[in-house]
Chain A
Amino acid sequence: MSKTYHLLVGLHFTICTLAMIWPGAVIANRFEPTVLGMPFLMFWYILWMAVLFVGTWIAYGVRHGGDRHE
């Protein structure tokens, strides 16, 4: 796998981590607007869990997508 790939995956992981701790989560620290009935701070975590899932899925697809046998 190329250097760019590893760099992008690393960046994806770093951004998701920073979004869930200080300082990323600080900007979401409020009640309004509520989403699906949840306070915004709680929704923020639900959202980033989804971002992590989708990003890692793409990373998996790029690396292992074609090969059915390893």
Chain B
Amino acid sequence: MNDSFIVTGITLIYLVAVLWLGLRARSQSASSLEGYVAGGRHVGVVILFFILGAEIFSAFAFLGAPGWAYKHGSPALYILAYLSLVPIVIWSMGPRVSELGRKRGYLTQGDMLADHYDSKPLGIFAGVIGVLALVPYLTIQIAGAGLLFQAATDGLVPFWLGALLALLVTTAYVFCSGLSGIGWTNLMQGIMMIAIAWFLGLAIPERLYGGVGEMFSQIQLQMPEYLTMPGATGMGWGAFSTAILISAFGGAMWPHLFMKFYSADSGRSLRRVSVLYPLYAYLLVPLLFIGFAGILAFADTPLERPDTVLLKLVMEVADFPPWIIGLMLSGALAAAMSTGANLAHTAGVVLVRDVFGATLMRNASDATAVKVTRWSVVGVSLLAYVIALLNPSSLVMLLLGAYGLIVQLMPMALGALFFRSLKRHSVLAGATVGSLLFLLFQFAVDSPFGWHAGVWGLLANVAVVALFQVAVAKKPATREAAA
């Protein structure tokens, strides 16, 4: 019981520090919409690096990555691979998005699509899918925070209270400071996450096996299938490779990532971020060690939920003092909260800008828009909290489904950015066919060759766009011939 108080105390200190930093970041620019949403388009390279990093390093990275290594073994390397490949997208797409946004005043994906294809419904559609994907994702972060609190404090802080604490802190600074609040807190949380992950990743193998090398040697002796592909669960190269490709290149279509391109102070900063980005991916290496450490530790009594492997090792096996458990809890909360803040901010903005802005609030002033956006962040966060309490099992399905649909916006976005001759009808037809095929392979039929369903959707999507483009290109020619 005494230990739980120490754990809770350390974590509360962390929460207060984040809150203080987040509220302090409130800048003069947060009163305009551009300032609140995109930091006045003046976000420099250091803060941008941590914002983009924290978006990817969610509760999933902290709990899910060790879970994958524990359950599957080597296929968990897909996480390292896709994170390292994300900078390729930032490098090639980011500066162009940033430039167009500056020139034409875009703040969301919907802005760009609606303007380029001259179709308001398209912008609303992109906004609705975005919110549908972001809310379950946010719910997972909030639920993750609640579960962590409950487990690490032995129930002293129950699920509902832990989730509420994390939610209140993030909502407070996102409400007041907008993107600059997110930036400064992500900087602090990012450094914390890296320090704690490396400490635990090296300390756990040391305590259990006497070192990382010794740990892998023992796994190789007893369960070698974990250390090479296809791993313990038989993930094929096709599934592995397509999962990497779709996560790395489709991931840029997530509104919360895409919209950060608008906030960059220059294309050059975005390029510099993509140079540094693989360094952030190294954070995950020690988290994978932790997962591998669980393979032999729980060989006799496999864990029911693989993503609890980090918690179980720290709390039950490694026998760390309570202050280390407190630090672990703070680090994991940092992962959940830094992503959660981004998601709530983005969902709030997209909802107001793309959905309300194009319908109910067509003539709203800048000041009104900021006010409504702020309350929309609060509304979205509360909604996610209520869903987390109800905990419907269909949440992951909704997330997967909406994410697959977001990826299908890719050819459309590339059309607006680079291939400006693509016609509205072509990209609409492509997105429709791609989405339907994705839904079919994700939920109804087994995907051919075990490939990621999103890849099939995207291939069909591109094929249909190409077909329509060829058909459109031919039409005027035949007309001329007839005349």
A residues contacting B by CB (< 8 A) are 9, 13, 16-17, 20-22, 25-26, 29-31, 34, 36-39, 41-42, 45-46, 48-50, 52-53, 56-57, 59-60, 63-64, 70
Q: In the complex, are the beta carbons of B228 and A30 less than 8 A apart?
A: yes
Name A22's contact: one of B240, B267, B279 (CB within 8 Å).
B240
Q: In the complex, are the beta carbons of B216 and A52 less than 8 A apart?
A: no
Given the known inter-chain contacts A16-B85, A20-B84, A60-B275, please indicate yes or no for A70 contacting B268, CB distance below 8 A: yes
B residues contacting A by CB (< 8 A) are 74, 77, 80-81, 84-85, 87-88, 91-92, 211-217, 220, 224, 227-229, 237-238, 240-241, 244-245, 248, 266-268, 271-272, 274-276, 278-279, 281-282, 285, 288
Q: How far is the CA of A53 from the CA of B272 in the complex (A)?
A: 11
Q: How far is the CA of A64 from the CA of B272 in the complex (A)?
A: 9
Q: In the complex, are the beta carbons of A64 and B268 less than 8 A apart?
A: yes
Shortest distance between the CB of B42 and any CB in chain A (Å): 13
- Determine the main DSSP class of B at the interface with A: helix
Name A42's contact: one of B74, B88, B217, B271 (CB within 8 Å).
B74
User: In the complex, which residues of chain B have a beta carbon less than 8 angstroms from the beta carbon of A50?
Assistant: 278
Name A17's contact: one of B85, B214, B227 (CB within 8 Å).
B85
Q: In the complex, are the beta carbons of B228 and A41 less than 8 A apart?
A: yes
User: In the complex, which residues of chain B have a beta carbon less than 8 angstroms from the beta carbon of A56?
Assistant: 87, 91, 274-275, 278
Name A21's contact: one of B216, B227, B241 (CB within 8 Å).
B241
Name B81's contact: one of A9, A45, A59 (CB within 8 Å).
A45
Given the known inter-chain contacts A36-B213, A37-B213, A41-B74, please indicate yes or no for A48 contacting B227, CB distance below 8 A: no
Shortest distance between the CB of B43 and any CB in chain A (Å): 15
- Return 27 A-B CB contacts under 8 Å, by A number: A13-B91, A13-B92, A17-B85, A17-B245, A21-B237, A21-B245, A22-B237, A22-B238, A25-B81, A31-B224, A37-B215, A38-B212, A38-B213, A39-B74, A41-B228, A42-B227, A46-B282, A49-B281, A50-B278, A52-B84, A52-B278, A53-B276, A57-B275, A60-B271, A64-B268, A70-B267, A70-B268
Chain A residue at smallest Cβ distance from B214: A37
Shortest distance between the CB of A17 and any CB in chain B (Å): 6
Q: In the complex, are the beta carbons of A49 and B84 less than 8 A apart?
A: yes
Shortest distance between the CB of A21 and any CB in chain B (Å): 4
User: In the complex, which residues of chain A have a beta carbon less than 8 angstroms from the beta carbon of B275?
Assistant: 53, 56-57, 60
Q: In the complex, are the beta carbons of A45 and B77 less than 8 A apart?
A: yes
Q: How far is the CA of A26 from the CA of B275 in the complex (A)?
A: 26
- Determine the main DSSP class of A at the interface with B: helix
Shortest distance between the CB of B178 and any CB in chain A (Å): 25
Chain A residue at smallest Cβ distance from B81: A20
User: In the complex, which residues of chain A have a beta carbon less than 8 angstroms from the beta carbon of B248?
Assistant: 17
Q: In the complex, are the beta carbons of A70 and B227 less than 8 A apart?
A: no
**Known A13-B91, A22-B240; 11 more pairs at CB < 8 Å:** A13-B88, A21-B245, A22-B238, A25-B229, A37-B215, A38-B213, A39-B220, A41-B227, A56-B91, A56-B278, A70-B267
Shortest distance between the CB of A20 and any CB in chain B (Å): 4
User: In the complex, which residues of chain B have a beta carbon less than 8 angstroms from the beta carbon of A21?
Assistant: 81, 237, 240-241, 244-245
Q: In the complex, are the beta carbons of B271 and A63 less than 8 A apart?
A: yes
Q: How far is the CA of A39 from the CA of B228 in the complex (A)?
A: 8
User: In the complex, which residues of chain B have a beta carbon less than 8 angstroms from the beta carbon of A45?
Assistant: 77, 80-81, 84
Shortest distance between the CB of B459 and any CB in chain A (Å): 16
**Most A CB within 10 A of own CB, among B85, B224, B275:** B275
User: In the complex, which residues of chain B have a beta carbon less than 8 angstroms from the beta carbon of A52?
Assistant: 84-85, 87, 278
Q: How far is the CA of A52 from the CA of B88 in the complex (A)?
A: 9
Q: In the complex, are the beta carbons of A42 and B240 less than 8 A apart?
A: no
Name B77's contact: one of A9, A16, A41 (CB within 8 Å).
A41
User: In the complex, which residues of chain A have a beta carbon less than 8 angstroms from the beta carbon of B272?
Assistant: 60, 64
Q: In the complex, are the beta carbons of A17 and B88 less than 8 A apart?
A: yes
Closest 10 pairs (CB-CB, A-B): A37-B213, A21-B241, A20-B81, A22-B237, A37-B212, A53-B278, A39-B227, A22-B241, A49-B84, A49-B278
Q: In the complex, are the beta carbons of B216 and A48 less than 8 A apart?
A: no
Q: In the complex, are the beta carbons of B74 and A49 less than 8 A apart?
A: no
User: In the complex, which residues of chain B have a beta carbon less than 8 angstroms from the beta carbon of A59?
Assistant: 91
Shortest distance between the CB of A24 and any CB in chain B (Å): 10
Q: In the complex, are the beta carbons of B237 and A26 less than 8 A apart?
A: yes
User: In the complex, which residues of chain A have a beta carbon less than 8 angstroms from the beta carbon of B266?
Assistant: 70
Shortest distance between the CB of B75 and any CB in chain A (Å): 10
Q: How far is the CA of A41 from the CA of B240 in the complex (A)?
A: 14
Q: How far is the CA of A25 from the CA of B84 in the complex (A)?
A: 14
Q: How far is the CA of A59 from the CA of B87 in the complex (A)?
A: 13
User: In the complex, which residues of chain B have a beta carbon less than 8 angstroms from the beta carbon of A17?
Assistant: 85, 88, 245, 248
Shortest distance between the CB of A28 and any CB in chain B (Å): 9
Shortest distance between the CB of B46 and any CB in chain A (Å): 16
Q: In the complex, are the beta carbons of B285 and A46 less than 8 A apart?
A: yes
Q: How far is the CA of A25 from the CA of B244 in the complex (A)?
A: 12
